Amino acid sequence: MTMIPNVLSIAGSDPSGGAGIQADLKTFSALGCYGMAAITALTAQNTQGVSGVHVPDASFIAQQIDAIFIDVRVDAVKIGMLGSPEIVNAVAQALARHKPAHIVLDPVLVATSGDSLGAPGVVEAMREHLFPLASLITPNLPEAACLAEAPVPADLAGLENLAIHLAGQGAQAVLVKGGHLSGATAEDVLFAGGKVSRFSAPRVETRNTHGTGCTLSSAIAAHLARGMALDEAVRAAKNYLTDALRGSDALNVGHGHGPVHHFVRLWR
Please measure the distance between the N-terminal and C-terminal CA atoms of the chain and give it in whole angstroms.
Answer: 27
Say whether 214 is catalytic: yes
Q: How confident is the model at residue 1 (pLDDT cuts 50, 70, 90)?
A: low
The yes-or-no answer on residue 212 being catalytic is yes
The answer to whether residues 219 and 237 touch, using CB atoms and an 8 Å cutoff, is yes
- In angstroms, the CA 218 to CA 224 distance is 10
Q: Which of 220, 224, 228 is nearest to 101 (CA)?
A: 224
Task: Report pLDDT digits (tens) over 15-71.
Answer: 999 999 999 999 999 999 999 999 999 999 999 998 999 999 999 999 999 999 999
185 catalytically annotated: no
Known catalytic residue at 112: no
* Pick from 230, 10, 211, 215: nearest CA to 102: 230
Average pLDDT for residues 237-262, to the nearest whole number?
96
Q: What is the per-residue pLDDT across 19-34, written as a single tens digit (0 to 9) for each?
A: 999 999 999 999 999 9
8 A C-beta contact, residue 206 and residue 241:
no
Q: Check residue 115 and give its pLDDT.
A: 47
Query: For residue range 161-206, what is the model confidence (pLDDT) as tens digits?
Result: 989 999 988 889 999 998 767 778 888 999 999 999 999 999 999 9
- List 40, 43, 138, 209, catalytic entry: 209
Q: Which one has a higher pLDDT value, 268 or 75?
A: 75
**178 or 14: which carries more pLDDT confidence?**
14
Is 178 designated active site? no
As a whole number of angstroms, the distance between CA 5 and CA 250 comes to: 29
Question: What digits encode the pLDDT tens for the residues 89-147?
Answer: 999 999 999 999 999 999 987 555 444 445 668 889 999 999 999 999 999 988 888 88
- Specify whether 26 is catalytic: no
Domains and CATH numbers, the chain: 6-250 (3.40.1190.20)
Give the pLDDT confidence score for residue 13 in this predicted structure.
Answer: 97
Find the catalytic residue in 118, 158, 178, 213. 213
* Marked catalytic residue, from 47, 118, 158, 177: 177
- pTM of the predicted model, to two decimals? 0.95
Return the pLDDT at 119: 66
Q: Which residues contact 195 (CB under 8 A, 6 or more apart)?
A: none
What's the pLDDT score for residue 97?
97
Of the residues 214, 215, 256, 258, which is catalytic? 214
Query: Looking at 212, 215, 247, 258, which residue is catalytic?
Result: 212
